[in-house]
Structure 1
Amino acid sequence: MTTFFSGLLQTSLAVRYSLIIAVVSLAFFVPFLGTVHLFDWDEINFAESAREMLVTGNYTRVQINFEPFWEKPPLFIWLQALSMHLFGVNEFAARLPNALCGTITLLVLFFIGRRLYNERFGLFWAMAYFGSFLPHFYFKTAIIDPVFNLFIFLGVYCFFLASTLDENSPLWQRRKYLIFSGTFIGLGILTKGPVALLVSGLSGIIYTLISFYRFRRWVLTITDALLFGAVALVVSSLWYGLETVQHGWWFLWSFISYQIGLFREPVAGHGQPFYYHFVVLLFGVFPASFIALPAFRRAAADRDTPSAFALLMIILFGVVLTIFSISQTKIAHYSSLCYFPLTFLATHQICQVLSGKAAWRTSASVACAVFGSLIALLLVLFPIVISHPSWILPFIKDELVRAVLQSPVAWSGYEWLIGAAYFVLVMLSVWLLQQQKFEFGFGTLFFSSALTLHFFTLFIAPKVEAYTQAEPIRFYQSLQDEDCYIVTGYKSYAPYFYARLRPNQSPSTLDHEWLATGPIKKPAYFVAKLDGAKWYEQFPELKVIKRSGGYVFFKREVPASP
């Protein structure tokens, strides 16, 4: 009877914690998703593909400007298309899948942490992910990676569950976990591509070899690997196979060539030094990254099941970091799968401190205080300085930057309070940690980051967007009901989404010079950045209709019939 009530109490506690996680995360992730326009390129890119699915009714092929787009498979875009079907073609609908993914992710972390350790571990793991800057931020965006990462993480976790079963366990149970693992990785391949199989496969192989060295037992057999791979192949072939049958090998080869190209050479100016992702993870996943550092050495030291999972997390972290550090194309979210092992290790260190098995050193408090103060200082200075462009214009020679800074953006004058409040909360959390009030200290540290990011996206991000892209987006929106050509002097997906272009309205094969001089049948609009406008100014029929925010807007009327 005592065992029954104890189990009931634990279940009740888990339900209570999961409800708290769900309510708090939804309150932070879902409201105000549509406050800021989608950002060029990635956010608009995927949202536009979803919009075009709704326009054409073709849900089997990813398109941009109603032409085949081979860079991404469709699963995440299907989620966006479903959201747009329910809530309309807008920013809220485009970002909603990731917001919901955020809540699901935090619940997954809680229940996995609870299964491996206890409720406290699960709660702090969810808190560490929720309260670190980049992990939290990406759930407010419309990029693919949060959903992609969740599928890979679930696939790796199911593989781990299979690896913990010994030879006395029922064979069906092991196969069940391997089928789940292959299914999740297959869904990952459908979300972003075969890198899901590469990352999970390498992690599994390395984990198997190290486990054999440590325990003299193969946790993964050839049969297991074949079953896992076959399931991943079958699931991913539900679309890749259909695409190949319908349209031949062209798409598949173009997709593979593009992925190889990303790895071999920097694409679209995204070349960065080898250590780029180390820096992004250390500072972008604050405060979890700072807390996690001591755990890299100690987390996998024991030979129990939780330590085995810690080993797998360290391996996953190393595999992702190595692959994308070697890759010549480096973008911040490429290493975002590392957020799972990094926040796990931070949670491990926190629980070690709470249980008295590890000390919280003054140097750790100092590091958190210093970096937190730097972030707070930036959040204080940025709105003050940028709202007074006359202070910095004398030091800037670039005409485009000068024009952008002089954009008509309305600042309230109180935005700096976000940084000031963050400084107070960071100092409070450090003081609590030094007083050994660890639960309140870590909780305050993570919550302060989440709260600061929430207010940043609400009050500062819209103004940043006003400087960078709001002018052309408003211009495109004004053309939604006009049958016209729209082209830009720089790479942008914004005209497609915000002008609501229709099939064949403004094909990408159009030659800009022909539009400026040829026998067009409808008006043509040209948008150029200030430093690229001179080329368009050479054509006398192009009339400047607006200059604002570092952009120049041209129009060519339909020439009169001779």
Structure 2
Amino acid sequence: MALTGDLVTLHVNGIRYLEKAPLPYWLAAASFRTFGFNTFAVHLPQAIGVLLLALLGFRWAERAFDVRTAFYTGLGILTSAGVFLFTRIFIPEVLLSFFLCAALYLLLRSLDEASSSVKSGTFSSAAYAYLMWTALALAVLTKGLVALVFFGGAGIAYLVITGEYKRWLTLKPFTGLLLFLAIAAPWHILAGLRNTGGMNGHGFFWFYFINEHFLRFLGKRYPKDYNKLPGYLFWSLHIVWLFPWSLFIPAAVVVAAKRWKARGAAFRFRLKPLSFNGQTVLLLALYSAFVLVFFSISTNQEYYTFPAYLSLLILLAAALNLAERGYAEDSTSRRWINFAHAAYAVVGIGVSITLAYGLWRSRHIPFVPDIGDMLAHRDVGNYTLSMSHLFDLTDSSFAALRLPASLAAITFAIGPSIAWLLRKKRRHLAATAAIALTSTVFLIAAHIAFVRFGTMMSSENFAAKIQQLEASGAISPQSEVLMYGDQAYGSSIPFYLGKTVYLVEGRSTSMLFGSTFPDAPHIFLSNADLLNEWGHGPRKVLFVPLEKRDIVDQLLGSDKVLLLDNSGKALYTDRPLDH
């Protein structure tokens, strides 16, 4: 988009890319134009999204509860494992989460402002309603129609349960819908008009709305390039994604049950009038449940439930704050908070011992910067799950991870115990801050480890090798760069080279539908094409991922020159270097 100026049709390596909504790519294109083509520019919108999500959580929790709950909510967003993991990759979930939660918050603010005799908001009820429709439109432009499903499911259920549906005109449904369409509809219409005549006569409308939304939900999307977590993993892994704050889930359940019982049966079935506090709890509980149940039925990846993280963390922060208040007098709250700290300490000791054991086993192994050579390559989930590579770790890989492993081991050996000691002394704010600090240091160690994994997870070094050879005159800048297999195996190469890359047997997954349009560039080669052109015409430079090494070695035999071998991936050329 930044290069072509076409803000309607996305392209990957010259091929139409019609799977995704455009807003994250608009933001990235604007960042490229401002900061240049680099990884900082790619990640900047994601980082801003995390900051906005934390600020939204703080503001919502402060208004609904108090400042300490708001502070805990902000800490939760900034130190949760899932938020850290799933914003390191270019996916729209953090932006979707921000816009959806903003729309829900604005829904409550609009209704609350309309019913209040004393105006306490910055804007009028109508202004909050129009901002709600704007946020919802931006959510649709971020992830598609699933934003309407989540907002509509939670919002309608809330209005019906509370009886607020009687005041539906407060939300400006007619003029607000016009505003929503004015923001969200133009791109969809233009994309449909400009992208017709694809696979079997299908265009954008069929591919985007039917294939990418409806058929994906049913698990019948074509092509099938995704996986689904087993039910027990889908639910239990949220303990990991919300860690360390998920340790307080039992305490939160106990607090919620006690407050529910205390309200009495009469209120229990009337559910109104609710304070903004009660409105928030009900709406966030409905929204969280809707997102989690939806993706437990649908096909899913680990990060699909990211939009529920903020709502869950606000509820956990509120429950933790209430449990802290009752810590001295309420033995039940005290017991479950201590249970959370005990679990944290056990986890910390277990992690420390495991890491220490791995470091001890690798003590005689020299440091090797290419961690890919020391991994098991177990191919868990066919690497269609985003965390599959974590299962590749071997004992010897600790030789390349000594610094982050040592930092994490020390942190988990000390941090949970300090937090528990502070809790015992009833220094609750300090105890919770100690948990957040422990998580922060651990995430720094995890970041260092991910950097060490860079050579395996990215192909930037292969692009750098090609640029180095071109700069030295060893190969000509007019050399043709090829990649074996799907572009996802080495998407860093065309990004860093900034030029078209030919794909051998790579007409698959996200490249498949766009390749069927008549104007698709001829970048797809077969094995026969590779053999016919190898050694003829301009020099060929072929990138081969680990998964395809055996195929290519059998195909080309000895008729190739190895330029780089790294993390099991290889870079070949079809003739000796020029110098």
Same fold (TM over 0.5): yes
Alignment check: 8 A CA contact 1:378 1:419 kept: no
**One-letter code aligned to 2:318:** H
Give secondary structure in 2 for the equivalent of 1:533: helix
Which residue is equivalent to 1:175? 126
Cα pair distance change 1:69/1:395, threshold 3 Å: closer
- Match for 2:348 among 364, 372, 376? 372
Aligned counterparts of 1:397 and 1:182: Cα–Cα separation in 2: 47
Larger mean CA deviation between 415-424 and 184-193 belongs to 415-424
1:543 counterpart residue number: 560
Deviation larger for 282-291 or 368-377: 368-377
User: CA 1:375/1:205 → structure 2, altered by over 3 Å: closer, same or farther?
Assistant: farther
Moved more, 546-555 or 396-405: 396-405
Q: 1:106-154: per-residue Cα shift (whole Å, max 9, x none)?
A: 2222222222223222222111222222224444543321112101110
Per-residue CA deviation, residues 483-540 of structure 1 (Å, 9 max, x unaligned), is 3131123542232213322488985422243022238532223333445323223335
Aligned position for 1:511 = 526
Runs of 5+ unmatched residues, structure 2: 197-201, 264-273, 367-372, 381-388, 471-476, 504-520
Aligned length: 496
Q: Which moved more, 1:223-232 or 1:116-125?
A: 223-232
Equivalent residue runs for 1:65-84 within 5 Å: 65-84=13-32
1:280-319 alignment, distance < 5 Å: 280-296=237-253, 298-299=255-256, 301=260, 303-319=274-290
Q: 2:52 aligns with which of 86, 101, 104?
A: 104
1:320 aligned residue: 291
Change (3 A) 1:542 1:410: farther
d(CA) in 1 for partners of 2:66, 2:376: 55
Structure 2 equivalent of residue 474 of structure 1: 461
Q: Distance in 1 between matches of 2:304 and 2:530?
A: 38
The alignment status of 1:451 with 2:441, answered yes or no, reads yes
Deviation at 1:442, TM superposition (A): 0.7
The match for 2:212 among 258, 263, 266 is 258
| Alignment check: 8 A CA contact 1:515 1:524 kept | no
1:205 is displaced (CA, Å) by 1.2
* CA distance in 2 between partners of 1:413 and 1:167 (Å): 59
After superposition, the C-alpha distances for 1:179-212 in whole angstroms (9 at most, x for unaligned) are 2111101101111211111111101111122213
* Cα deviation, residue 289, structure 1: 1.6
Describe the shift of the 1:312–1:168 C-alpha distance in structure 2 as closer, same or farther (beyond 3 A): closer
Tell me, in whole angstroms, the C-alpha distance in 2 between the residues paired with 1:272 and 1:82.
35
TM-aligned CA distance change 1:134 to 1:496, over 3 Å: same
Corresponding residue number in structure 1 for 2:104: 156
Q: CA shift at 1:376, angstroms?
A: 4.0
| CA distance in structure 2 between the partners assigned to 1:289 and 1:187 by the alignment | 30
Match of 1:495 among 493, 496, 499: 493
Which region of structure 1 is more displaced relative to structure 2, 127-136 or 488-497? 488-497
Distance 1:117 1:241, change over 3 A: same
Does the alignment pair 1:277 with 2:234?
yes
Residues 426 and 448 of structure 1 are in contact (CA less than 8 Å); yes or no, is this contact kept in structure 2? yes
Structure 1 residue identity aligned to 2:571: F
Structure 1: where are the runs of 5+ without partners?
Answer: 1-52
Counterpart secondary structure, 2:231 = coil
Distance in 1, matches of 2:430 and 2:193, equals 58
Contact 1:151 1:185 in 2 (8 A): yes
- Give the residue type in structure 1 aligned to 2:482: I
Q: Which residue of 2 aligns with 1:422?
A: 411
Q: Give the deviation of 1:253 after TM superposition.
A: 2.2
CA distance in 2, matches of 1:343, 1:445: 15
The Cα offsets for residues 31-64 of structure 1, whole Å up to 9 and x where unpaired, read as xxxxxxxxxxxxxxxxxxxxxx222232332111
Q: Does 1:460 align with 2:449?
A: yes
Aligned 8 A contact 2:483 2:501 in 1: no
Q: Please state whether the residue corresponding to 1:58 is helix, strand or coil.
A: coil
Contact 1:244 1:252 in 2 (8 A): yes
Residue 317 of structure 1: how far off its partner (Å): 0.7
Q: CA deviation at 1:291?
A: 1.5
Equivalent residue number for residue 310 of structure 2: 340
Gap change, CA 1:421 and 1:298, over 3 Å in 2: same
Distance across 2 between alignment mates of 1:338 and 1:163: 22
State the distance in 2 between where 1:404 and 1:281 align.
22
**Whole-angstrom CA distance in 2 between matches of 1:137 and 1:534:** 32
For the residue of structure 2 that corresponds to 1:282, the secondary structure is helix
Amino acid at match of 1:499: L
Which of 136-145 and 58-67 deviates more?
136-145
* Matched position secondary structure for 2:466: coil
Q: Secondary structure at the match of 2:528?
A: helix
Contact 1:60 1:239 in 2 (8 A): yes
Q: 1:292 to 1:79 in 2, by over 3 A?
A: same
Distance 1:499 1:426, change over 3 A: same
1:372, 1:409 → 2: CA distance? Answer: 18
Structure 2: which amino acid aligns with 1:323? F
Tell me the amino acid that sits aligned with residue 74 of structure 1. P
